[in-house]
Amino acid sequence: DKGMALGTALALMMSITALSLPEMMILRSVLKDKLLAVFIGILAVSFVLVGLLFNAVAG
């Protein structure tokens, strides 16, 4: 079995779009820095948990 685990690939694809620099620049104009940091933290933790859960379920 070669390649990346499906849960890892899923977490990577979600994080690439959601935590990209252009999106952070757009959100920074709308959100305060503290709220943006909380948003980034929640998304990062969520993506890791989704990836781990998917890997556990998919085997």
Q: What residues contact 15, with CB distance under 8 A and at least 6 apart?
A: 43, 44, 47
Q: Does residue 38 form part of some domain?
A: yes
Q: Does residue 52 form part of some domain?
A: yes
Which among 12, 22, 5 has a CA at the least distance from the CA of 48? 12
Inter-residue contact 55 to 7 (CB < 8 Å): yes
Domain that holds residue 26: 6-58
Confidence category of residue 1, pLDDT binned at 50, 70, 90: low
pTM of the model: 0.83
Domain count, the chain: 1
Q: Does residue 15 form part of some domain?
A: yes
Confidence category of residue 59, pLDDT binned at 50, 70, 90: confident
The whole-number pLDDT of residue 58 equals 87
Q: Does residue 13 form part of some domain?
A: yes
Q: Does residue 1 form part of some domain?
A: no
Q: Does residue 49 form part of some domain?
A: yes
Sign of torsion over alpha carbons 51, 57, 58, 59: positive
